[in-house]
Amino acid sequence: MLNGSSLTILILGILSSLGIVCLQIYALAIDYPLNIFTDSAIQLNWSGILSMIEAGVGSAVLLLCTVTAMPYLGVVNIKNTTPIKFATIYYAIMALTSGIISVYRLSETGIISVNGVCKRLDGDVGLVCPTVRFRSEMTIETKEDCVFNAFAESHSVWNKAGEPKINWSDKEMYDKKSQQTVFDAYKAARADVDIDMEEMTLYHDCWYWGCDEICNDRHTINIVMAYASAGVSVIYIVLIIMSGIQARFDYKEVPDEDQSQIDIPDEDQSQIDIPEVESGFRVELPSIPPGDPIPQGSSSDNKGSTSSDNIRSWNFNLRM
């Protein structure tokens, strides 16, 4: 008989882990490399780092469900549930890790929080993603709208003719090597500048997280990975519940009956047919009217004839 719990754990584990692993491999190895800027030690790609962690977690879940669920597919009454109990603990660790990553992704992309890098407007102008600041007052519909200078205090001069502008759809503008160009635009837009070029904010996070759907190529993949991380986290929680329930049903072996205590009928007794007596059946003895003599040969009390008297009478008649 097929073990339904093990089969469900195996199917959910393989589909979810393979899905997230394939997604992260596609993002990192094919279309969205981990490091695209000149100084990767400073310009960290946190979205890509989280993808590497998720790929590792997914691989661990794939291995775990294969090792602890597949051997029990045909076993309904599992004698040793220790491996399943350990698997439950590991599922909990994987679910916690995936949950933290999914919350971080959902927050940074602005899906669940206004304090993420793609939604935050509080703080100094230089600390806010240029496209996020620009969209707070303007609209971006095409790539041409990505050319502006939003460092000025008033949005009325963000597209002012003659002012130096930055093309924020060009990923080179997010690189450290373009820090001087960005700083020049910052100085031209503001009357009072109290920082130098080395202190100018680097906006690589805005590109890596794909904060703008028009200006940043990584917007769609980051949204997909955020929802995928959340979905996989929910599936990992389901694996915890199912594995925990399965681990609670410990195997209890039924002891064999003691053969010495079983009454085996004799051969002769087994051949005797004992009629069944219907419920309520009663045997009535014939009644003797008062004063009638007891029939000859019947056993009675001490007043009746005994068997010895009958024998002597028989002998006497024979001699006659």
For 208-226, write each residue's pLDDT tens digit: 999 999 999 999 999 999 9
Q: Please determine, for residue 272, whether its predicted confidence score (pLDDT) is greater than 50.
A: no
* More confidently predicted of 314 and 134: 134
Q: Please determine, for residue 317, whether its predicted confidence score (pLDDT) is greater than 50.
A: no
For 192-210, write each residue's pLDDT tens digit: 888 889 999 999 999 999 9
pLDDT for residue 131:
95
Q: Please determine, for residue 238, whether its predicted confidence score (pLDDT) is greater than 70.
A: yes
Confidence of residue 287 (pLDDT cuts 50, 70, 90): low
Q: Please determine, for residue 316, whether its predicted confidence score (pLDDT) is greater than 50.
A: no
Which region among 33-42, 70-79, 224-233 has the lowest average model confidence (pLDDT)? 70-79
Q: Please determine, for residue 270, whether its predicted confidence score (pLDDT) is greater than 90.
A: no
Across the chain, mean pLDDT equals 81
For 276-285, write each residue's pLDDT tens digit: 545 454 545 5
Q: Please determine, for residue 161, whether its predicted confidence score (pLDDT) is greater than 70.
A: yes
pLDDT for residue 256:
47
Which region among 66-75, 79-88, 143-152, 268-277 has the lowest average model confidence (pLDDT)? 268-277
Average pLDDT over residues 287-315: 48
pTM for this entry = 0.73
Average pLDDT over residues 222-247: 93
Query: What percentage of the chain carries pLDDT values higher than 70?
Result: 78
For 79-122, write each residue's pLDDT tens digit: 778 888 999 999 999 999 999 999 999 999 999 988 999 999 98
Three state DSSP letters for the chain: CCCHHHHHHHHHHHHHHHHHHHHHHHHHHHHCCCCCCCCCCCCCCHHHHHHHHHHHHHHHHHHHHHHHHHHHCCCCCCCCCHHHHHHHHHHHHHHHHHHHHHHHHHHHCCCCCCCCCCCCCCCCHHHCCHHHHHHCCCCCCCHHHHEECCCCCCHHHCCCCCCCCEECCCHHHHCHHHHHHHHHHHHHHCCCCCCCHHHCCCCHHHHHCCCCCCCCCCHHHHHHHHHHHHHHHHHHHHHHHHHHHHHHCCCCCCCCCCHHHCCCCCHHHHCCCCCCCCCCCCCCCCCCCCCCCCCCCCCCCCCCCCHHHHHHHHHHHHHC
